[in-house]
A and B are shown apart, each in its own frame.
Chain A
Amino acid sequence: MNAVGLNSYLFLAFVLFLVGVMGVLTRRNALIIFMSVELMLNAVNLTLVAFARFLHSLDGQIFVFFVMTVAAAEVAVGLAIIIGIYRRSETVNVDEINLMKW
């Protein structure tokens, strides 16, 4: 039954998370960055579910639902912001968006 061990899940989650981090740090397109953030969230969700399964506790799975809900809300807000930025400056390249500068 437990042919696949916990470590495998955690390793997969780690890889997914790294991919997400690298995506956020290296890509210039705001939408891609956004998707990478979602990837990181899902990597975390994976670890939570894996731990829940292996520790026989439902807490992790409940937490995953929370994360998914928040992520959905975040996507809604984030996409709205990106559309707002695009309407303003005709670009979604984050290098060209530096309004937060002093």
Chain B
Amino acid sequence: MIDYAWLTPLIPLAGTVINGIFGRRLPKFVAGPLACLTVLCSFALSLMVFLELNAMDEGRRLAVRSVFTWIESGTIKVDFAVLIDPLSAVMLLIVTGVGFLIHVYSLGYMGHDEGYTRYFSYLNLFMFSMLLLVSAGSFLLMFVGWELVGLCSYLLIGFWYEKKSAADAGKKAFVVNRVGDFGFLLGMLALFGVFGTLDFEKVFAAVRHDSLVSPWFADHAVPVHEALAVATPLLGLPLITVICLSLFLGATGKSAQIPLYVWLPDAMEGPTPVSALIHAATMVTAGVYMVARCGALFTASPDAMLVVAYVGALTAIFAASIGLAQNDIKRVLAYSTVSQLGYMFLACGVGAFAAGIFHLATHAFFKALLFMCAGSVMHAMSGELDMKKMGALAKTMKITAVTMWVGALTIAGIPPLSGFFSKDEILWSAYSAHLNGSETGKILYALGAAAAVMTAFYMFRLIFLTFHGKSRAAPGVHPHESPPSMTVPLVVLAALSVVAGCVGVPELLGRFPLSRWFFDFLAPVTGGGHGSAPAAHAGSGAEGAVMLVSVCAAAAGILAAYWVYNARPALHDRIRERLGPVHRLVFNKYYVDEIYTFLIVEPGKWLSSRLLWRVFDAGVIDGVVNGAGYLAQGAGAVLRRFQTGVVLNYALFFVLGIIVMLYLIL
């Protein structure tokens, strides 16, 4: 089936075309299920590809299938090629699997929306783009998918475009992503300059075997490590570090890391299933996937790895702290997503790429689950987002409440749910990482562990405010359980969140079939020996301690949330008053948006209106255009003197012309 893997992205594209062009004429019971069906087909295909890959020998699990030559010009040759290896197979499964469930959920959630078919054609377009991104065989094709998911994100955030805040949020996401995309583009061009190709396999093989390349700055072939160690004008950093940091800038844009995370919380203006699929489970993980895919490059630059790890850890704790004080149920989850993505980058930064992808997988399940539960709550509360106006929903919404409890326990990291294993793997990798200076790993670990406490706290704050305590609903709102098309995906995802962890259990907790399967499966791509395996025998005591701390951190966060928000309902007002300025700072998201507005947006506007518009556009561009007109007019004014209309004058010019020509010729 691997030969047909390239069909996986194309099937949803067919859905886009059909729904996009004929959608208005299709009855609703055709358009929606059609979109779901295309994704189901892709899922089935991905599953077959995955099983076939799994049946191969471990060392040979790699297939590049070129469909056609896309660009060929001089030395540039780019095929439309898919790359199927364990990493992309896992990603295909996650994207199509979660994508299918969210499509089904959307049938119920978007059932009464006017843009029903438009919604599904966008959603299918997103599936196409994301599948293209993860199955692409070259940087350029990946970049196409990368840009397309950005476009879909923009379209779906601004889905309710008549709402100004939604349209603005879409624009913000697009512009912020462009900043990151620029970094990606720079990194890609530099790679092309060095390696002369953009195919993943050729680039990584060249790095692995240190083969000879002819970069643009050298006049003869040099080994890769020399080419990549060339100092650049940028602070004298070696080329490889600059390339990796450029690529990582792209990742911070797409995966909402400091400093480009600001678009993600605003992206919650889109429909909730979109938040679940694009802004939690799949698209925002594209950056993590890209860094893991380029693991061979990143490991060659310890400095870049350190930056990745620190940005990840700082984002994890920073976003989690903002999540503590938000009242909008979706924003809490959005900051939680930013924070969890930080964990994934932390894992990549310490070299545990497989652990990062593992957390990506479990996060896809439990965060999609949490968002869809939040969507179910909104559905029940007639679109209410403020948790202060909820409460006691557990009585009326049993399935949603139970599944959300499962999701919250998973993200908090309570064993034996999947979140515990994936987060613990990351924290242990950070703790045991040997970075320059042995203390660095410990600092990263401390940041991660502190973020874990906050994670547990804000999640259970959300749970207690929403589902327990007294109802604070506005009069006239009658909460009710959602239809089966919404609750069934919740149950499936809850089940996945519970069991997904058993394919990545630390060896400390025993060994059984498949217990390390995830890491063994990914080892050929991400490099074997990462994660807890190598250090396990060296410090099993420390690993146990790390695990214990994780559990205690989760429990502490949950108990604190219970104490403040359920047992003593009046307490949190007192705490808020006591914390005054700190609370205001966190509640207003550290004023980052305001700072960005002041530092970047306003100068940008000033530059645009004063310089680019008044001077450049009005002066130069319009000047050139008008100048062309004036030139023609002036030339005409002079030349029309010759047009006397008297035939004899014309005849005279004839004769004079002929005489001049004769004189010149003879």
Q: A-side interface residues toward B, CB under 8 Å?
A: 21, 24-25, 28, 33, 94-95, 97-102
Contacts and interface: CB of A to CB of B under 8 A. Distances in A.
A33 B648 CA distance: 9
Interface string B641-660: 00111111001100100000
A100 B644 CA distance: 8
Given A94-B647, A97-B647, A98-B645, 13 more contacts: A28-B648, A33-B647, A94-B646, A94-B648, A95-B646, A95-B648, A98-B646, A99-B645, A100-B643, A100-B647, A101-B645, A102-B643, A102-B645
A95 B648 CA distance: 8
A94 B643 CA distance: 15
Contacts of B578: none
B60 interface: no
Contacts of A94: 646-648
B65 to A, nearest CB: 68
A97 B646 CA distance: 7
B204 to A, nearest CB: 71
28 contacts: A21-B655, A24-B648, A24-B651, A25-B651, A25-B652, A25-B655, A28-B648, A33-B647, A33-B648, A94-B646, A94-B647, A94-B648, A95-B646, A95-B648, A97-B647, A98-B644, A98-B645, A98-B646, A99-B645, A100-B643, A100-B645, A100-B647, A101-B643, A101-B644, A101-B645, A102-B640, A102-B643, A102-B645
Nearest to A37: B651
Contacts of B647: 33, 94, 97, 100
A74 to B, nearest CB: 15
Interface string B344-382: 000000000000000000000000000000000000000
Contacts of A21: 655
Contacts of B655: 21, 25
Interface string B591-635: 000000000000000000000000000000000000000000000
Contacts of A99: 645
Query: Range of interface residues on chain B?
Result: 10 to 19
4 closest A-B pairs (Cβ-Cβ)? A101-B645, A98-B645, A100-B645, A102-B640
Contacts of A102: 640, 643, 645
Interface string B480-514: 00000000000000000000000000000000000
A25 B648 contact: yes
B662 to A, nearest CB: 13
A90 B233 CA distance: 85
Contacts of B648: 24-25, 28, 33, 94-95
Nearest to A28: B648
Nearest to A99: B645
Contacts of A24: 648, 651
Contacts of B640: 102
B150 to A, nearest CB: 56
A40 to B, nearest CB: 11
Point out which of B640, B643, B644, B651 has the most chain A C-beta atoms below 10 A from its C-beta.
B651
Contacts of B645: 98-102
Nearest to B648: A94
A29 to B, nearest CB: 11
A31 to B, nearest CB: 13
Nearest to A26: B648
A72 to B, nearest CB: 22
A97 B648 CA distance: 10
B615 to A, nearest CB: 38
A97 B645 CA distance: 8
Contacts of A25: 648, 651-652, 655
Contacts of B644: 98, 101
A28 B646 CA distance: 11
A66 to B, nearest CB: 21
A98 B650 CA distance: 11
Contacts of A28: 648
B642 to A, nearest CB: 10
B296 to A, nearest CB: 73
A98 B645 CA distance: 4
A91 to B, nearest CB: 13
A21 B652 CA distance: 9
B659 to A, nearest CB: 10
A98 B644 CA distance: 7
A95 B646 CA distance: 6
Nearest to A98: B645
A18 B647 CA distance: 19
A33 B643 CA distance: 20
Contacts of A98: 644-646
Contacts of A33: 647-648
Interface in B321-353: none
Contacts of A101: 643-645
Nearest to B651: A24
A21 B662 CA distance: 16
Nearest to A100: B645
B68 to A, nearest CB: 58
Contacts of A97: 647
Interface string B289-315: 000000000000000000000000000
Contacts of B651: 24-25
Interface string B164-182: 0000000000000000000
B536 to A, nearest CB: 94
A91 B420 CA distance: 107
Point out which of A94, A95, A99, A102 has the most chain B C-beta atoms below 10 A from its C-beta.
A102
B183 to A, nearest CB: 59
A28 B651 CA distance: 12
Nearest to A30: B647
A80 B14 CA distance: 69
Contacts of A100: 643, 645, 647
A37 to B, nearest CB: 9
A100 B646 CA distance: 7
A38 to B, nearest CB: 15
Nearest to B655: A21
A79 to B, nearest CB: 16
B641 to A, nearest CB: 9
A28 B644 CA distance: 15
